[in-house]
Structure 1
Amino acid sequence: METSTAPQHQGGKLHHPELSTLVQTARFHAGRQPAATAVICEDRTLTYADLHRNSNRLAHALKAAGLAEGDRVAYLGRESEHYYEILFACAKTATVLVPVNWRLTAPEVSHILQDSGTRLLFLEEEFAPIVEGMPTEPPGTVVHLSAIETWSAEQPDRETEFDANPDTPLAQLYTSGTTGLPKGVVLAHRSFFAIRDGLASERLDWIDWRTGDIALIGIPGFHVGGLWWATQNFNAGTTVVAMRAFAAGQAVDLIRDLGITTACVVPAMLRMMLIEPGVSAKDFTTLRKTVYGGSPISEALLEESLAVLDCEFAQIYGLTETGNTAVCLPPAAHVPGGPLMQSAGHPYPGVRAKVIDDQGRELPPGAVGEVCLHTPARMVEYWGLPDRTAETLVDGWIHTGDAGYLDEDGYVFIRDRIKDAILVAGENVYPAEIENVLEHHPGVGEAVVVGIPDERWGEKVHAFVVPAAGDRPSPRDLHTFLVGRLAAFKLPASYEFTDHIPRNPSGKVLRRELRDRFWSDSARKVN
C-alpha cells in the first residue's frame, strides 16, 4: 500500500503525523524539501539537506569517538546551527544531549558535567575559561566548535543504522537551580511530538505551523522552551531563525528584515522589544503569531503587546518536567479585560490538570492548591535521583509546585510558586496577584512582591518597584491605587524602588535573591 507523505493542513496547521522521532524528521524533510532553509543564524544558512548530512557525519564521529547509546553529550556555547546539527546527531546515535547554560559559573558547569556523566563536550572557544576554571577535570573528549567540521569531515554522510522510538531519551536539561543543586530532567522524543499531535487531533489552531513560516527563537536552547520551539518548527519543516543570544534591537531587526511570522519569547523579552528606541507597529507587520510563556505576564504588558505587535498571541504554561507546554491560553481568549486574561490557559487535548491539597486530595473548581498535570510529553525521570523523581512524578502526574486553581471550564489559574506564598496572619497571599494589579499603575514599569518577616503578622508583603520611564510614584500613591483593588491583608506594607529586577537566563525572576536578605537573621525562612 502506498503511503502519502503530503502534509496535513488542519485548522491552518502544517502537520506530518507520520513523524514521531527527530531521526524521522531529519530524513523526511531532507528527502521531501532538501533545498528548503532549515536554519538561519547570523549570515549563515543551513538547508534541510545540509542539516541531515552534517548531523549524519557528526553521528558517525560520535560513534568513532567511542560513544554508545545512553552516553551523554554536552554542548556549552551560544545558539548556532551547530547546536541543531549536534541535536540531530544525538538523536541518530541514541546519545543524550545535555545543553549547558553558558551564563553559569565554572563550579555550576562542573556540577552538570559531573552529574550527567558527560563523556564528550562540544565547546565554544569563548567559554573555554569556564571549563579551565572548573574544580573537576573536563570530559575525556572536548571538541571545539571552531573545529567541528574538521572533526567530522572524514566521516560518511549516510544515515546511521539506529532508528529511535518515541520513548528513546533525547535530551537532559537542568532545572534553573534557584534552590539547591540543579536536577537533570530527561526527556524522550515523545516530549517533542505529543502536544503537536494533540492539537492536530482536535483540529485546533492554538499554536500552528504553516507553509512558509519563519520562526524566531528568542529563548535559549538550554531552556526547554527554546529546544521545544525549534523542534516543533523542524518537525513541521519550516525555517528556524536562531539568535546567538537575545538582544531586543536585533530581534526587532530580524522580525522586520527577514519577515518573521512566528516567535517564541518570555514576557521580559516582549517588554524589552517594546521599549527599544524607535520601535513601532511597522516593525512587526509580518508577525502572525507570538507564543509566550516561562513566567507570569501582567495584563498591562500583555495589552500593550497586543496593540503594538497586532498579531495572534498564545500563552503556554508548563515545566521542563512536563516537556515544556501542557496548558495553552489560545488566541481567541486574548481579549483585553476579558475573563480569561489572568488564566494560564486550558490543557491541550490529551493533557489533564487537577489541583490537590497538602494531603493529595483533589480540590473542587475555585479552590487553590498545587497544580498537577498529566501529559504524554512528561519527563522520563530526574537523572540519578529516583527519590526526587518519585516525589514529582506520581502515577503519571507531574506535581508542579505551583499554586493555583481550576475554573468550572477547566482553565488553569496560577497564583504563584507554592514556596513563594506569603502567610499574613494565617491568610495565604500570592505575589503574582499583587504584582498584576501594581503593574496597572501608570508609574510602575515592573513589580515583584516577596514576603518578609513581621513580628505581629508573621509575614508581611514587601514590593520591589521599577518605575516607568519618566515617572516615580510615591508609596502613598501606590497604596491609594491598590486600596479597593486588593483586600487589605494583601496590600504591601513597604516599597523599595529599584532600576533592576534580577532574573535567570530563562527570564524568571530570582525572587529568592530579593527575599533572602530580609531573612538572613532568621533560623527559618518562613514565619
Structure 2
Amino acid sequence: MYYPNLTTAADTVAFHATHHARRTAVSCEGREVTYEQLHRESNRSARALLAAGAGRGSRVAYLGKESEDYYEIFFACAKTGAVLVPVNWRLSPGEVEHILRDSGAALVFVEREYEEMAARIRPELPALPEIVGLDGRSGRGKGFREWKAGHPDHGLAVEAAPDDPVTQIYTSGTTGLPKGVVLAHRSFFAIRDLLAEHGLDWIDWRPGDVSLISIPGFHVAGIWWAMQAFNAGATSVAMRMFTPHDAVRLIRELGVTTTLAVPSMLQMMLAERGVGPADFESLRLVTYGGSPISETLMLQCMEVLDCRLGQLYGLTESGNTALCLPPSDHRPGSPRLRAAGRPYPGVSVQVVDEKGNALEPGAVGEICLRTPAVMLEYWNMKEATEETLADGWLHTGDAGYLDEDGYVYVCDRLKDTVIVAGENVYPAEVENALCTHPAVAEAAVIGVPDERWGEAVRAFVVLRPEMSATPRELKLHLQGRLADFKSPSGYEFIERIPRNPSGKILRREIRKDFWTERDRQVN
C-alpha cells in the first residue's frame, strides 16, 4: 500500500488514525495499540515534551528495548520537532554516557532494567534535566504514564517538513567513539517513493500485511523497517529482544507476512529444533542485510522459508538501504547471488580509487553512493561530515566493485583489508568460501602480524553441531576456490563469533590479542 501524500512521520500516524483508526499499529507481547491510540497518545506525549522544554531541535534519548512506548515517543518527537536519540542498551555505562553527553539530551526515557545504569552516570551529566522511567515510578523521577498524564491528546499543531531532523542514530562504533548520524524525515520515505515512481515491487506492502520487527530500534534498519510498515498502514509485531525461538513462534502464531533480518538471525531461526516450512507458511517476503550472507544459507532460506527474498545494502549514513538485490535475482545458481544488489532508480553508485577517480567495472575500490535518503550530518562533526559527504558522494568505507550491468559486489570494509606481501585479501571473500564447507557454520577472518609477509590470514571457525573438520581439511577445501595467498595460514575453532547488534563481525575483538602490544594496527 502506497500513500504518496505522506512525507513525514507526523503525517503518517495522523493519516492512519483517520483512515484506519481501529487497525492494530503495534503488537508487543500481547499488548495491541491501534493507529488511533498511537496518534492520540503521541499527541499527549508531544505536549508533555513541549512542557518539559524539549521542543524543536532538542534531543530526546530512549534507553530501553522495543515496545509500543518507543514508537509513541518517536512519533511524539516527530510532532514537536524534537530529535529522538535511541541508545543501544547493550552498551557499557561509559558508552551510554558518551552518547547522552554528545547529543546534549534534554530528557531521557529509561526502562527499569537500565535505571541503575542511568543513576550511575547521572552525576556525570549535570546538563541532563530529567529522567523518565518507562515502567512506572522508580524513585528517580516520574514514570511515563504519570509524566504525560494531564496533557490533552488532541488538537496539536504540527509543523514538520521532509528535511527536518527526526532521529539521531549513533554508529555501531567498531572503531573509535560512535558518531551521531542525523537523519531527516525524508530518509524514511525516499526509497519508498522511488520504488513507487518506477513501479517496482522489490519491497512491497499489501493489505493485511503483518510485519515482524526483529532488529533493535537503536539500529537504523530497525526504525527504518518499522516506518515502512507504518507508512503502509500495516501492523508491526515488535520483539522486545530477538530470540530465534520467539521469532519463529510469532511468525507462526500471528501470521507474519514480511520481515527484515540479518543473516545470522535467519541462520539461528532455521537451526531451531523441529523448525520447517510449516512454521513460515504466512511469509511472503523476507528482506535481509547488515552483513554478507553465504550462498549456502541463502539457498536454505529459499527452500525452507519458501517466499520472496530481497537483499538490502546500505548504512546508517545512507538512511539505510541504497542498493537492493530484488527477488527476481534470487535464483539458485545465479552468479548475482554474490552481489549486494543494484541501486534503486534515483540512487547513483560509483567505485573510486584512493585519489577519488572512478574505476572501471571489475576494479576494486571504495563504494560511493548518491541517494536522496542520505544523512543530514554527523552531529557536531563538521569535518567528518565533509569528509564522508565529499563532492556530493557518500563515501561508505566499503571495498567493492561494479559489474557491467551495474550490480555492486562488496568485498569488505576497507579498514578490514588484510595485506599479504602487498596483495589485498578481503576477509568476507575468505569467510564465504569457508562457509561452503558442510561442517562450517560461521567463519571470521582477520590479518595477524607476520614477520615475513607483513600480515597473514587467520580464520576463526564455528563448526556445526556434531560435525568436525581439521585445518588441513579446510585448507584442501579452499584449494581451487581461492588464490593461495588468500588461504588462511592458521585456524582456530571457537564457539561463537563476536558480532555487534546489526550482525557485523567485531573484528577488533578478535584482532586485539594479536595487535595490542603494537604501536600500529598494520604490519
Q: TM-score, normalised by structure 2?
A: 0.97
Q: Deviations over 1:415-437 (max 9, x none)?
A: 00000001111111111111111
Distance 1:294 1:248 in 2: 17
* 1:92 match: secondary structure: helix
Say which is worse superposed, 311-320 or 136-145, in terms of deviation.
Answer: 136-145
Q: Is the 8 A contact 2:181 2:377 kept in 1?
A: yes
Q: Deviations over 1:62-121 (max 9, x none)?
A: 011122210000000110000000000000000000000011111110000000000010
Q: How does 1:329-348 map to 2 (within 5 A)?
A: 329-348=325-344
Q: Is the 8 A contact 1:224 1:324 kept in 2?
A: yes
- Cross-structure match for 2:367: 371
* 1:341 match: secondary structure: helix
- Cross-structure match for 1:145: 134
Shift of 1:149: 2.1
Shift of 1:516: 1.8
Letter in 2 for 1:69: R
Q: Deviations over 1:142-191 (max 9, x none)?
A: 11112212221211111422220100000000001111100000000000
Letter in 2 for 1:271: Q
- Shift >6 Å, 4+ stretches: none
- Find out whether 1:425 has 2:414 as its counterpart: no
Q: How does 1:357-506 map to 2 (within 5 A)?
A: 357-506=353-502
Identify which of 62, 74, 85 aligns with 2:49.
Answer: 62
Distance 1:412 1:159 in 2: 48
Q: How does 1:219-298 map to 2 (within 5 A)?
A: 219-298=215-294
Say which is worse superposed, 90-99 or 131-140, in terms of deviation.
Answer: 131-140
- Cross-structure match for 2:162: 166
* 1:133 match: secondary structure: helix
- Cross-structure match for 1:81: 68
- Cross-structure match for 1:104: 91
- Cross-structure match for 2:315: 319
* 1:518 match: secondary structure: helix
Q: Is the 8 A contact 2:101 2:125 kept in 1?
A: no
Q: Deviations over 1:321-376 (max 9, x none)?
A: 00000000001111122110110001011100000000011111110000001000
Say which is worse superposed, 334-343 or 227-236, in terms of deviation.
Answer: 334-343
Distance 1:388 1:63 in 2: 32
Distance 1:80 1:255 in 2: 18
Identify which of 32, 35, 40 aligns with 1:45.
Answer: 32
Letter in 1 for 2:58: D
Distance 2:54 2:448 in 1: 50
* 1:170 match: secondary structure: strand
- The count of residues paired between Structure 1 and Structure 2 equals 514
Q: Deviations over 1:447-478 (max 9, x none)?
A: 11111111111111100000111111001100
- Find out whether 1:127 has 2:117 as its counterpart: no
Identify which of 21, 27, 30 aligns with 1:34.
Answer: 21
Q: Is the 8 A contact 1:75 1:122 kept in 2?
A: yes
Letter in 2 for 1:242: A
Distance 2:147 2:460 in 1: 50
- Find out whether 1:310 has 2:310 as its counterpart: no
- Find out whether 1:352 has 2:340 as its counterpart: no
Distance 1:303 1:154 in 2: 55
Q: Is the 8 A contact 1:445 1:467 kept in 2?
A: yes
- Find out whether 1:213 has 2:201 as its counterpart: no
Letter in 2 for 1:249: H
- Cross-structure match for 2:181: 185
Distance 1:130 1:268 in 2: 29
- Cross-structure match for 2:102: 115
Shift of 1:257: 0.2
Say which is worse superposed, 150-159 or 451-460, in terms of deviation.
Answer: 150-159
Q: Is the 8 A contact 1:74 1:122 kept in 2?
A: yes
* 1:166 match: secondary structure: coil
- Cross-structure match for 1:510: 506
Q: Deviations over 1:206-238 (max 9, x none)?
A: 111111000001100000000000000000100
- Cross-structure match for 2:140: none
Identify which of 24, 30, 37 aligns with 2:11.
Answer: 24
Distance 2:517 2:144 in 1: 51
- Cross-structure match for 2:138: none
Distance 1:73 1:481 in 2: 52
* 1:350 match: secondary structure: coil
Q: Which runs of 5+ in 2 are unaligned?
A: 136-142
Distance 2:391 2:112 in 1: 44
- Cross-structure match for 2:150: 154
Q: Is the 8 A contact 1:503 1:510 kept in 2?
A: yes
Q: TM-score, normalised by structure 1?
A: 0.96
Distance 2:208 2:54 in 1: 37
Q: Deviations over 1:378-402 (max 9, x none)?
A: 0000000000001101132110000
Shift of 1:519: 1.5
Q: Is the 8 A contact 1:93 1:160 kept in 2?
A: no
Letter in 2 for 1:137: L
Shift of 1:141: 0.9
Q: Deviations over 1:235-279 (max 9, x none)?
A: 010000000000110000000000000011111100110111121
Distance 2:236 2:230 in 1: 8
Letter in 1 for 2:118: V
Q: Is the 8 A contact 2:251 2:279 kept in 1?
A: yes
Letter in 1 for 2:414: I
Distance 2:269 2:224 in 1: 22
Letter in 1 for 2:67: S
Shift of 1:314: 0.5
Shift of 1:521: 2.8
* 1:365 match: secondary structure: coil
